[in-house]
Amino acid sequence: MSGGRQIRRGILALLVGLSALWLSACTAPHPDPGTPGQPLPPRAAETLRIASYNVHFIRADLAEGPWSLADWEGRKHGLDAAFKALDADLIGFQELATIPERGRAGENLALAWLSARNPGYGVAAAGDGADFPSGQAVFYRRDRLRLLDQGWFHCDQPGQSEDSRIDRLLRARQGWAYYCTWARFATRDGQRFQVYNVHFHHADQDRQRQAAREVSDRVAPMLERGQMVFVLGDTNALSGWRTVQILRRSGLSIREAIGASFHFNTGTHLFGAIDRIAHSPQIEQVGGPWLIDRQFEGAWPSDHYPLVGDYRLP
């Protein structure tokens, strides 16, 4: 395909995608879980505060520019401030990863930074990058939760269409671009639940739906057995899209947040939330989900807002 045709095709795909996003945002129902821009309310007694946060990967192969090492230095204090403002018992991260320089293993800068500054938290769903991608780690309060098990699986296979440059870069440096991590926990009183932390493809709706089916196939039998489950993360899909419907049909309860969860790293709100927290029906959602749609330490820590809600186990 010629360069001109590729450009025209890209522009057309962008316009169609933006139109679909706008239409879905205008027509999708938005239950009223809270008011955007307001501080988080105090947590209710005997609840778990659960959060999801896509923090965008760091480009260690770039010295300057968007998402580069210099950019990380400018946003890392804001990211830690956002982490602390959540006051969560459990936070599932997406894109908590560092793309290293070519030929170097590198360190996960964001994971190491947050771990060092928040010693009361343990890290689950992470491990040696050779066999366990660490970009979707789950942080949890050691004094409230005990880690029982952890793992991960591929959300999808690469599509038939050509992957984006970022997809190829992530896969070359991390092994896989889109996957799901999971962790099983016990509370202090012995209740057990499992968390699935997802990141679906950023543009390919077929791959989004395939990922949703993969997660649903694992979750549905657990729900039938009465097990407690959370599914959280960046689905890259709006409320009325089939991707979200697939998750709902598995038996999960989903309450949508008000407002945009992705803001283009500028605070710009063009469409509804694409990040969400789902849970098994016997878990009571006491508050939220809330989006913390403000800057921290004078910067946007990410191009997504953190999403948080309060839940009571039966």
Q: Report which residue type is found at 272.
A: G
Quote the pLDDT of residue 65.
96
Quote the pLDDT of residue 43.
86
Rounded-to-integer distance, Cα 6 and Cα 12, Å: 10
Domain extents for the chain? 3-312
- Residue 298's pLDDT band (cuts 50, 70, 90): very high
Domain with residues 3-312, CATH architecture:
4-Layer Sandwich (3.60)
Beta bridge partners of 307: 52, 291
Quote the pLDDT of residue 176.
53
Tell whether the model's pLDDT for residue 10 goes beyond 70.
no
Tell whether the model's pLDDT for residue 18 goes beyond 90.
no
Please count the residues of the chain: 314
Quote the pLDDT of residue 33.
43
Pairing of the two strands 90-94 and 284-291: unpaired
Quote the pLDDT of residue 171.
54
Helix, strand, coil shares, percent, the chain, to 5: 30, 25, 45
Quote the pLDDT of residue 134.
79
> pLDDT tens digits, residue range 243-283?
999 999 999 999 999 999 999 999 999 999 999 999 999 99
Q: Report which residue type is found at 65.
A: G
Task: Give the burial string for 113-122 (b: 16+ CB within 10 Å, else e).
Answer: bbbeebeebb
Whether the Cβ atoms of residue 41 and residue 85 lie closer than 8 Å to each other: no
Range name among 22-31, 57-66, 176-185 with the lowest pLDDT average? 22-31
What is the average per-residue pLDDT within 97-119? 84
Beta bridge partners of 92: 52, 138
Tell whether the model's pLDDT for residue 32 goes beyond 50.
no
Enumerate helices (H) and strands (E) in the chain, giving the number of each. Answer: 6, 14
> pLDDT tens digits, residue range 114-160?
999 999 999 999 877 667 787 899 999 999 999 999 999 988 665 54
Q: Where is pLDDT greater, at 237 or 164?
A: 237
Quote the pLDDT of residue 155.
81
Quote the pLDDT of residue 295.
95
Residue 80: how many other CB atoms lie within 10 Å? 19
Closest to 94 (Cα-Cα) out of 281, 246, 268, 231: 231
- Residue 19's pLDDT band (cuts 50, 70, 90): very low
Rounded-to-integer distance, Cα 158 and Cα 206, Å: 10
DSSP state of 42: P
Whether the Cβ atoms of residue 253 and residue 289 lie closer than 8 Å to each other: no
pTM: predicted TM-score of the whole model, two decimal places = 0.85
